[in-house]
């Protein structure tokens, strides 16, 4: 099974120009940078997503992953724990 690659960062940058307060757009731009192994920019975008939506579990876990790749293991562990706590409080979709 071939996985689809995420949209190029350009799409998400344009989305952020239109909706700078979109945590999802910042998270998606971070994902695009992650695929390119650009972990510094990745973490920056995840942090921007968290500035808008501090409880956004995906961005928290993604920031932890970026920290791990940057060798910031202590920060990664804290973020993973925080993200895990947030996920346990979010409703689960039944469909």
Tell me the per-residue pLDDT of 18-42, one tens digit each, with 9 for 90 and over. Answer: 999 999 999 999 999 999 999 999 9
pTM for the model stands at 0.82
Using pLDDT thresholds of 50, 70 and 90, give the confidence band for residue 95.
Answer: very low
CA–CA dist 29, 89 (Å, integer):
26
pLDDT given for residue 44 in this prediction: 97
Q: Which of the pair, 4 or 12, is modelled with greater confidence?
A: 12
pLDDT above 90 covers what percent of the chain? 74
Tokens of 51: 């500035």
CA–CA dist 68, 89 (Å, integer):
24
């Amino acid at each position: 099974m071939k996985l689809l690659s995420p949209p190029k960062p350009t799409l998400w940058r344009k989305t952020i120009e239109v909706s700078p307060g979109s945590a999802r757009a910042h998270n998606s731009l971070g994902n695009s940078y992650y695929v390119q192994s650009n972990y510094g920019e990745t973490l920056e975008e995840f942090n921007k997503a968290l500035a808008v939506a501090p409880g956004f579990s995906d961005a928290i876990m993604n920031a932890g992953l970026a920290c791990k790749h940057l060798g910031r293991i202590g920060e990664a562990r804290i973020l993973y724990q925080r993200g895990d706590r947030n996920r346990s409080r979010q409703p689960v979709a039944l469909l």
